[in-house]
Amino acid sequence: MKQTLLQEKYPVYVAEIPKAETRHATVDDVIAYFKDKIAANPKVKFIGVFDHYAHTTQIGGTIAPEIKAAAEVIFCFGIALPNPLVLAVRPRSIGIADLGDKFVITFLEAPMAPANEAMEAWTKGLRNAD
């Protein structure tokens, strides 16, 4: 897993997971995996799934040819609401892109360490794990 800056300002975690290194074959499989991880944590609330590929296709948008499917799993750690500004960085999402021979998993760095640690652990767990 690596960290990068998207557009020189958004701190993003990125993991490229070859399909040969995971038991998950489709984006839907990976979504189910993340939903299970979210459900197992009583401090995290599942919100929904956004099929970004279908949406972009429907509106006639541009999709890189190597992307075969793409979706986001949306959820919230929200263990505190100390001020209204934190609403700008919630909820969280994990992006899943199928590039044929691998998945690319991405998420924006959260402002609280426990959220980052959980999302990183979940993502690393995709490699030949539950």
Both structure tokens of 33: 């995996």
The 10s digit of each residue's pLDDT in 79-109 is 888 899 988 888 999 999 999 999 999 999 9
Q: What is the pLDDT of residue 129?
A: 56
- What confidence tier does 65 reach under pLDDT thresholds 50, 70, 90? very high
Q: What is the pLDDT of residue 7?
A: 80
CA gap 1, 118 in Å, rounded: 13
With pLDDT > 70 as the criterion, what percentage of the chain qualifies? 98
Burial call 7-45: b when 16+ CB within 10 Å, e when fewer = eeeeeebebebeeeebebeebeebbebbeebbeeeeebe
* pLDDT (average), residues 12-34: 96
With pLDDT > 90 as the criterion, what percentage of the chain qualifies? 78
CA gap 17, 13 in Å, rounded: 13
Tokens 């590039």 identify what position? 99
Q: What is the pLDDT of residue 20?
A: 95
Cβ-proximal residues to 28 (8 Å cutoff; 6+ apart), any chain:
none
Longest dimension (CA), the chain: 44
Q: With a cut of 80, say whether residue 48 has pLDDT above it.
A: yes
Tokens 């499989």 identify what position? 29
Check residue 66 and report its DSSP letter: T
Q: What is the DSSP string of 34-50?
A: HHHHHHT-TT-EEEEEE
Helix%, strand%, coil% for the chain, nearest 5: 30, 30, 35
- What confidence tier does 24 reach under pLDDT thresholds 50, 70, 90? very high
CA gap 89, 116 in Å, rounded: 13
